[in-house]
Structure formats: C-alpha cells, structure tokens
Amino acid sequence: MGKKNFAVFGLGRFGRNVALTLEELGYNVLGVDKDENIVAEMAESLTKVVSFDVRDAHALREVGISDFDVVIIASKSLEASLMATMLCKELNVGEIIVKAIDERHAEMAKRLGATKLIFSERDTARQLARKLATKNSSDLKEIDDDIGILSLKVPQKLIGKNLIETNLRKVYNVNVVAIKSGNEMLVPPPPKHVFTANEKIFVIGTNETLAKFERDMD
C-alpha cells in the first residue's frame, strides 16, 4: 500500500501548519486556497498548490480530489467549509477533517459528512498532521506534546526476529515497551523474544519517528 495523499483546503495559520508538517514528514500534500498570493508564497513548500474556490465541484474533480485519502478543511468561511464538506462526501473522500468555527458549525459539518471535527490552532495543527501520518492514527496515543505510543500488529518484516536483531532503537529511534502475545502482556519485553504473526506490539517514540517506523514497516 502506498503512502497517504493529503489535501488541505485553506492555507491560513492552521491549514498551513498542517500542510507543512505533513510535507516535512514525507507525504504528498495538495494545498488549496482562493488567495493567489498565498498560493504563490507556498508554491515551493508543498507538493502542489492551486488556487480555486473549494465550493466549485468541477475544480475539485479537476484536481482528482476523489483520489485523496484525507482532506483537511480549514477554510475561514462557514459557507465554503460546509460546501466543501458536502462535495468531498459526494466525491467519496474517505476521511474529511473539518476545523470548526464553533459548535453550530461542527454539528452542520458532521451532518454533511465530516468524519472528524477539530477546534484548534497552531500546536494542535502539528499534532494532527503527525497523527495523520500514521496509517492507523486511532492507535496512536499521545502522552506528551510530541511523544506517543503506537500499537499495531507485528509487521511482517519483524516476524521471526527478536528485539536485538531488529535494533529498532538505533534504526528508527523508537522503543518496543510491550508485546501482547495471546492473553499475556510482556512488559518490558525480553530482548530475545521472537516476534510472531499473532502478536501486537506497543512502540514509543516521537510522533515523527513513529510515522517513519510505520511507513517503513508497511
């Protein structure tokens, strides 16, 4: 499976930080903003940046929005945000994340197809981007601003090896803090424990190192 493709609608402070962080993490990011000056300013920073009104269904089809895994809608206009949410839903975008202006906006966006609602600004924008960078973002639990624990099924690349052989700490700067094997939880896991296909591992690291680890293990 290839890496996710992201689109960010609205390149104000929040949208810009989400887009730049995802780009820094190695993902392809489409930035969209109606302001041509902003588009020109961001042209060298993102994979692709275009200027159009996100309420324009034809324009969304032209950029192939249906092929994007995640769309983050950060428009400051209530009307544009809701219209874009509805159009993305109609165009079968799997994950539609909307930055809500208030509770009323959030409720309407949810009814129109938003899969996640947020109310935050710069710091949470970067945290959101890092979470999105993991394939199973719901399995990433943040324990500090930039540190999390990722739980996932033992990757195929690790099966048959032990912790010493995989050397994850040196290669990825992450640590396996626990292994769930059947009903048994190994905390901390023995260094010579051999990974098997039916196990689950819990890995701690920064959001950035966890994203890289999961991408390479995919």
pLDDT, tens digit, 9 for 90 and up, residues 15-58: 998 898 888 878 889 999 999 999 999 999 999 999 999 999 99
Query: How many residues comprise the chain?
Result: 218
Chain region(s) in the chain for CATH 3.40.50.720: 5-133
Give yes or no for residue 137 having a pLDDT over 60: no
* Amino acid (one-letter) located at 113: G
* Chain mean pLDDT for the chain: 86
State the Cα torsion 34-80-124-13 to the nearest 10°.
30
Strand 175-181 with 70-73, pairing: unpaired
Give yes or no for residue 144 having a pLDDT over 60: no
Identify the band that residue 184 occupies on the pLDDT scale cut at 50, 70 and 90: confident
Question: What pLDDT does residue 136 have?
Answer: 54
Question: What pLDDT does residue 204 have?
Answer: 87
Q: What is the mean pLDDT of residues 185-203?
A: 89
Contact 74, 117 (CB under 8 A): no
State the Cα–Cα distance between residues 210 and 216, nearest whole angstrom. Answer: 10
60-95 CB burial, b ≥16 within 10 A, e <16: beeeebeebbbbbbbbeeeebbbbbbbbbeebebeb
Q: What is the mean pLDDT of residues 157-175?
A: 92
Rounded to 10 deg, the angle between the 122-132 and 207-217 helix axes is: 20
Question: What pLDDT does residue 122 have?
Answer: 47
| Interacting residues of 33 by C-beta distance below 8 A, sequence separation 6+ | 9, 10, 11, 15, 39, 42, 49, 51
Question: What pLDDT does residue 138 have?
Answer: 42
Question: What pLDDT does residue 147 have?
Answer: 74
Q: How many CA atoms lie within 13 A of 133 on its CB side?
A: 30
- Which stretch of DSSP H or E encloses residue 101? none
CATH code of the domain occupying 5-133: 3.40.50.720
Q: Which residue has the higher pLDDT, 122 or 212?
A: 212
Burial of 49 (0-12, 13-18, 19+ CB in 10 A): buried
State the Cα–Cα distance between residues 150 and 95, nearest whole angstrom. Answer: 20
Query: CA geometry: angle at 20 spanning 17 and 26, to 5°?
Result: 140
pTM score = 0.62
Question: What pLDDT does residue 59 have?
Answer: 96
Question: What pLDDT does residue 24 have?
Answer: 81
State the Cα–Cα distance between residues 207 and 73, nearest whole angstrom. Answer: 22
Tokens of 104: 């009323």
Strand 184-186 with 147-153, pairing: unpaired
Chain region(s) in the chain for CATH 3.30.70.1450: 138-217
Q: Which CATH number fits domain 138-217: 1.10.8.870, 3.90.1150.10, 3.40.50.2000, 3.30.70.1450?
A: 3.30.70.1450
Identify the band that residue 1 occupies on the pLDDT scale cut at 50, 70 and 90: very low
State the Cα–Cα distance between residues 83 and 139, nearest whole angstrom. Answer: 30
Q: Which residue has the higher pLDDT, 205 or 32?
A: 32
Give yes or no for residue 129 having a pLDDT over 90: no
Q: What is the mean pLDDT of residues 91-114?
A: 92
Identify the band that residue 123 occupies on the pLDDT scale cut at 50, 70 and 90: very low
Give yes or no for residue 118 having a pLDDT over 90: no
pLDDT single digits (tens) 63-96: 999 999 999 999 989 999 999 999 999 999 999 9
